[in-house]
Amino acid sequence: LNVRAGTAVGLRFELVAQGTYFPVNVDNFYFAFMDIDMGPHGTGRESLTFTTDIANFYIAEDSYLEYSYPNETTNLVVWAGNSASGDLNNNPQDPWDLTDDQERHSIALVLASTSGFEVILNTTTGVGGREISFSGWSPLIEDTFNTTISQGSSQTLAAATVLSDSGHSSLPEWLSSSR
């Protein structure tokens, strides 16, 4: 996806029955966003605001991303941290074969007992467009955590599963004012 710097777009990703537009609920499915970064000098900083519940999420322990924990009143928000500069040279070419640097710019979601989710992709002022890639399953889950996700009923996330709490933060001023 390419989002013009200084704008936002709301999207709904939906699983549907083949050949129809009928939503299909599944127990669990994975979805990953990659290449979450910013342009030169902090311009075009990308953020993702999930407006529907997710069951869990994964980021690399040494991720360039920052996030706010979801709770009873807010959903997950993820944004490019201050060291998350990117350009065409570090964009993923294959979502199944991410470099360590590309994994640091990525988040993988687990969604449960649903047919889809909604997200707002936002960028701060800058020049041109900002690219964000997405896929289903991501090696980020296996490479970073090597854990098993149990199949089962939906749950609202109260705390993220991450190996480190270093990226957790309250929303930055530039993001709070753009919501």
- What pLDDT is stored for residue 176 in this prediction? 55
pLDDT per position as a tens digit, 20-43: 999 999 998 999 999 999 988 888
129 vs 109: CA distance, rounded Å:
24
- Secondary structure of 49-62 in the HEC alphabet? EECCCCCEEECCCC
pLDDT per position as a tens digit, 58-98: 888 899 999 987 777 778 999 998 888 877 778 888 888 88
pTM: 0.78
Q: Residue 99: CB partners within 8 Å, gap ≥ 6?
A: 90
Residue 165 reports pLDDT greater than 70 = no
Q: Residue 9: CB partners within 8 Å, gap ≥ 6?
A: 1, 3, 120, 121
* N residues, the chain: 179
- DSSP single-letter state for residue 171: P
80 vs 75: CA distance, rounded Å:
17
